[in-house]
Amino acid sequence: MPRQRALFVIFSLILGSLACALQDSSGEAPPEAVVPSPEAAAATPVSLDLCTLLTAGEVSEALGETVDVRPGLQTGACSFATTASTQSKSVSVSAAQGTQARDLVQMSASLGLLFGGNAELQQVAEDLKANAASMSLQEVVEKSNTLLVPLGYTYTAAGNQASPAIWGWNPMGSGSLEQVDGETFLAVSVVGLDEQAALALTTHLLALADARLPAAFTIELADSLQIQFTAEVPAPTLVTTPTLVPMPTLVPTPTLVPTPTLVL
């Protein structure tokens, strides 16, 4: 499912150097401390529960209404929906890194071709599917967004120079703030607000979620989810074959022979 999808990559690798080592009584220098390399520190990603990036209280305060948490890690998002509102509102947060980020972004964008599109967009989709692994994540996100244009989305630059973002908005009342930082994708989406309120809300919640992203992580994606870059083809019109009804057998009407008159 938008103009403030956030894409933030937080690679906060903390490298501590062991100083202040004690010398022994002989005056010999202590052995040199071994400091793990950034590559080694990032080699073990943690399994991220996307519902830990935002709390129900934070989303409720931002919307001004009570919300329920609706986990959905298999779809790459955690959603929060209002429980007692005349107009339904919802917020979702999604995040991924590396290959998972490329797959997640393309799976979302493939909806554009399922409900519309043309030959040019179909070619963009095929190029993405074939070359996403060798493209930067930023380029994958930008190209994928063009596939959602048939659904009514428009995309503009957001954020600032230090933290650039992409704001996607659909006049039907759906906005998403996306941000890419290196190989990390982060997005916060909202449904049920006007554009100004949606942009302000996603900007606020994006900053909260970004601060909680681990340096390296994986998310759960269901095997059943696939990248479908196929434009919808109208179903053929079914022509009913007429059923042949046998003609009734014609029985000839008997000829009436006049009864002879008896003459006395």
Write out the chain's pLDDT in tens, 264 residues. 443 333 333 223 222 222 222 223 334 443 344 344 454 445 589 999 999 999 999 999 999 999 999 876 456 789 999 988 778 899 999 999 999 999 999 988 877 777 766 888 888 889 998 999 999 999 999 999 999 998 899 999 998 888 899 999 999 999 999 999 999 999 999 999 999 999 999 999 999 999 999 999 999 876 545 555 554 444 444 444 444 445 454 445 454 445 444 444
Is this model's pTM higher than 0.95 or not? no
Q: What residue ranges do the domains of the chain occupy?
A: 46-218
Residues 200-253 have pLDDT tens digits of: 999 999 999 999 999 999 998 765 455 555 544 444 444 444 444 454 544 454
| SS3 per residue for the chain | CCCCCCCCCCCCCCCCCCCCCCCCCCCCCCCCCCCCCHHHHCCCCEECCHHHCCCHHHHHHHHCCCEEEEEECCECEEEEEECCCCCCCEEEEEEEEHHHHHHHHHHHHHHHHHCCCCHHHHHHHHHHHHHHHHCCHHHHHHHHHHCCHHHCCEEEEEECCCCEEEEEEECCCEEEEEEEECCEEEEEEEECCCHHHHHHHHHHHHHHHHHCCCCCEECCECCCCCCCCCCCCCCCCCCCCCCCCCCCCCCCCCCCCCCCCCCC
